[in-house]
Structure 1
């Protein structure tokens, strides 16, 4: 079948950090590109004003919610992810760190390349495209509290201002595109409203809808929102059939199938793994490696924090962008402050008292009950959602520890759904002692700053032994052979070289920092090796790559 006999040269499933890079770079190289996105398209003023506007904030199509915040649950982790045209960039925290040496030296992929050097130019490209400001430029009480907590823990030299993807400009002032010579959309200076993770209504956040995606559309790439891909099937003569339905539709799904010479899976780790597992199970993609689901990572992550019973008027804990600073509790444990803006208090419902890990569930629940009985008034005041975002600092803790889960399919109520088991490396942690230390230090500094009682807080999922992560990665990782992983060093799926995984599912190790910049850089590298449309492909064939490992 010739290329023109297909409906599209390339179909991309998902429009997050991997899919958006693929859309722009392939459109630039002359490919006919079509992007499917399960979520909706948002204009700036379409985002929720606060997290209590569930229809615009939460993702739950079954009950009519088409917002930006997805929540998934596995036996070993609760996952926070994104939805919409622009994927996780719509509700991520704008934080764009590069990982340290441990990530590049992970044994899963270290022998395949000098990844630090290999990815360096692509990190530079990703930073330029995402408009990275090297250091958050403002100072406030949260930044001072974090610096003080780092000093109190004896790690003050590790404190730093976060590199962030935000147009600061003049607050509230709209200007012509300042990043791409006028080819991008107009931008408005950040007002420090704090609601980055609910969706930036100002137009200051450098989401993918402000850079890669509009530039790709200018070059002819088409993006179809509210379409959920349900099947990718290999065709006998080459290429793929891609079937999609209308997102959230039950009675009239509007099922459609198109053909494409090549397919890029970039539906986020959850969505990409769902498709790979199901297509392998059904026989639609029979060549997929048995390693699918292995080395699924949570960034060894925990979400704890500190909350005051009240705060003085004008203290301003909620003023700023979502993440502004960080420090290292130890060489492998990284802590960032996280904030929501005034009124966005919904996530406070997940907060609980802080309980020691390594104890049975009944002992953890007993400790919470005992504390509540001893201090009932303080417990009620700390648990209140009133002005929660203005009374607390969330501590996002990430590690470079080598731990993982293995995902597979199980049958549940007549459907095949993802489940998890402990994987390779150390057990995936249900609590992080370093997170508790950080939360306690932040609480002490907050109390000193506000002059009112403050306490370290955990989360209800953690009480029940289920950590939360906003950085779900892996399961279709870069590898030197199909026995070791799902994609080759060029992100082509072993056994189906016209199928590619270009999102967080390909990330082979815990980066220990926010992974968005790394996903973007890895995607830039993978797409840089594609030939121009109709040109010679200089990438080694997969049989040669596998032989090199043997």
Structure 2
């Protein structure tokens, strides 16, 4: 088999590449490690673990990946940043972690769009001004038309309803003096009449039939209604009709030059297969869009094994967590039942505010019965010395609250999750160790495992709802949790300070491209999906039509 372009991954970057390159006349094959889901095949709740969690070795082929990126230890410490930035030094009082991180990401045809919160913000001005890439072009002006195109393709609208979680979050914003920053979120959802199925409302009838949102709160376990504007409903739908082929349950295990250095050979195996089932696919060009960690693994491996030694030594540097924390507040079950509380109403995220400049907070919800992720909640403990000891003391000293936090019965109905994101500058560096990725400190402080403003928000939130504040179970060990892992193969002006150029071409590897979150050079402080799509749209817009001259500057 030989294709003009092989796209590895079917998420926000890969789906854009598949559609736009097929439209330009290229033969395109999309390789996806996960399975394909029809709407009714998505899990009813997060307890349907075989369809919700991703663990192929255990027979789980779901949409939610959970990856622990372990600390590198002393050998990996001291990662440096060539040409480092001085933007937004880590906020005073903010605790840096041990460089490990727990990562939530997506799997399946459609990638992260199957499990994400369909929230699509443009980033603030300091994202475009980051010195890592600001000198290359005026990125804000460059990306403006591609943000507009991405919003049109993804069907972005402002959420029109006010939910119970929005009311308490607005009260918290007012108490913090930030009520003027509170707003409803832009979401990729077909709102319509709840549950009513209609002909395609977005693309003049050329897209799939859709059903109106029922505001059930189940976006994060996959939308069974058919209202969520996930990638199989737009980019991938049209990519297949333009001739692109999607091959699910196919894991890429290696990437190497083709015979005589022409093109690439992509080694694959069937996902979950214990042995055999290997195959090699030839391509003139390859687009890496396997998610930030998946793309990094492939590039690290190709460089470490000598298959592609020209890959920049900057691979792994500037890996970001969006400077993120996932916190929450839960009302005890009996009190919640007595008060008939239900925070599941709405889409996954319906509002947000800024408790301080550079920090952004959103209330997040799961649908009724989706309580599995509550197992990741624990006591809220500030950063600082002896944190594990203080966490254990908190658990032992407040046994009643501890029991309540450990109980996940009706967790989604009585909990408001707080997603805290920052546009400040911090990072870690990944390394390739015995076939695995590990993480060491990046330039300056590492990604934070304690964000004081987020803790203040959650304590006020608990006060508003009469609940108990909670943090991620990994935080006491100084390991933050993120749903938005980014970077590691970032845009740079030269091979000395980046892995890809302004057109997302890998330095030193003609025909190899990175079109996913791995190329994003800075923390955004907002949900990154829209930016990944806009960057991908811009990159492929500069590809020539098949057979036409390439008007891009020569690749380095």
TM above 0.5, yes or no, is: yes
Does 2:301 correspond to 1:278? yes
Q: 1:353 to 1:362 in 2, by over 3 A?
A: closer
Matched, 1:487 2:491: no
Aligned residue number for residue 363 of structure 2: 337
Matched, 1:325 2:338: no
Q: CA deviation at 1:287?
A: 1.2
TM-score by length of 1: 0.94
Tell whether the 8 Å contact from 1:54 to 1:65 is kept in structure 2 after alignment: yes
Please, what TM-score do these two structures have when normalized by structure 2?
A: 0.93
Given that 2:164 and 2:345 are in contact with CA atoms closer than 8 Å, whether structure 1 keeps it comes out as no
Give 2:543's match in structure 1, choosing from 518, 523, 530. Answer: 530
How far does residue 329 in structure 1 lie from its aligned partner after superposition?
A: 1.2
Contact 1:406 1:420 in 2 (8 A): yes
Q: 1:242-281 residue pairs with structure 2 within 5 A? A: 242-252=266-276, 254-281=277-304
The alignment status of 1:138 with 2:161, answered yes or no, reads: yes
Match of 1:107 in 2: 131
List gaps (5 residues or longer) in structure 1.
Answer: 1-5, 448-453, 544-550
- Matched with 1:451 is none
Matching residue within 406, 424, 428 for 2:447: 428
Residue 228 of structure 2 is matched in structure 1 by 205
Q: Cα distance, 1:234 vs. partner?
A: 1.3
> For the Cα contact (< 8 Å) 1:12–1:19, is it kept in 2?
yes
Structure 2 counterpart SS, 1:430:
strand
Q: Which residue of 1 is the match for residue 110 of structure 2?
A: 86
Shift of residue 339, structure 1, vs aligned partner: 0.3
Residue equivalent to 1:438: 457
User: Does 2:342 match 1:316?
Assistant: yes
Could you tell me which residue of structure 2 aligns to residue 12 of structure 1?
Answer: 7
Q: Is the 8 A contact 2:401 2:468 kept in 1?
A: no
Deviations 1:356-401 (A, max 9, x none): 11122443233323432xxx33432333111000011000000011
Q: Deviations over 1:231-269 (max 9, x none)?
A: 1111224211111100010133x1111111100000000
- Work out the CA distance in 1 between the residues paired with 2:147 and 2:543: 18
SS of the residue corresponding to residue 30 of structure 2 reads strand
**CA distance in 1: counterparts of 2:132 and 2:61, whole angstroms:** 37
Give the length in aligned residue pairs.
523
Partner residue of 1:417?
Answer: 436
Q: Distance in 2 between matches of 1:359 and 1:162?
A: 37
Report Cα offsets for 1:428-471 as digits up to 9, x if no partner. Answer: 21211111011011111212xxxxxx121111101111100000
Structure-2 separation of matches of 1:153 and 1:227: 49
Q: Is 1:233 equivalent to 2:233 in the alignment? A: no
**Which residue matches 2:246?**
223
* 1:62 aligns with one of 33, 38, 57: 57
Contact 1:58 1:67 in 2 (8 A): yes
2:527 aligns with: 514
Q: CA deviation at 1:105?
A: 0.2
Q: Distance in 1 between matches of 2:239 and 2:202?
A: 15
Aligned to 1:38: 33
Inter-partner Cα distance in structure 1 for 2:241 and 2:261: 32
Q: Note if 1:347 corresponds to 2:373.
A: yes
Contact preservation (8 Å) 1:69, 1:83: yes
**Map of 1:376-415 to 2, 5 A cutoff?**
376-411=399-434
Give the superposition deviation at 1:313: 5.2
What displacement does 1:141 show?
1.2
Q: Secondary structure at the match of 1:177?
A: coil
Bigger drift between 496-505 and 136-145 goes to: 136-145
Alignment partners' CA distance in 2, 1:17 and 1:362: 37
Residues 177-206 of structure 1: per-residue CA shift (max 9 Å, x gap): 111111111100011111101110000000
- Aligned to 1:111, the other structure's residue is in SS state coil
Q: Confirm or deny: 8 A CA contact 2:32 2:108 kept in the other structure.
A: yes
Whole-angstrom distance in 2 between the partners of 1:417 and 1:330: 37
Residues 1:189 and 2:208 aligned together: no
Distance in 1 between the 2:214 and 2:232 partners? 19
Counterpart in 2 of 1:499?
512
1:526 alignment partner, SS class: helix
Using the alignment, how far apart are the partners of 1:371 and 1:137 within structure 2? 43
Superposed, 1:174-185 pairs within 5 Å as 174-185=197-208
Q: Is 2:118–2:187's contact at 8 Å kept on the other side of the alignment?
A: yes
Closer, same or farther: CA 378–291 of 1 in aligned 2, 3 Å: closer
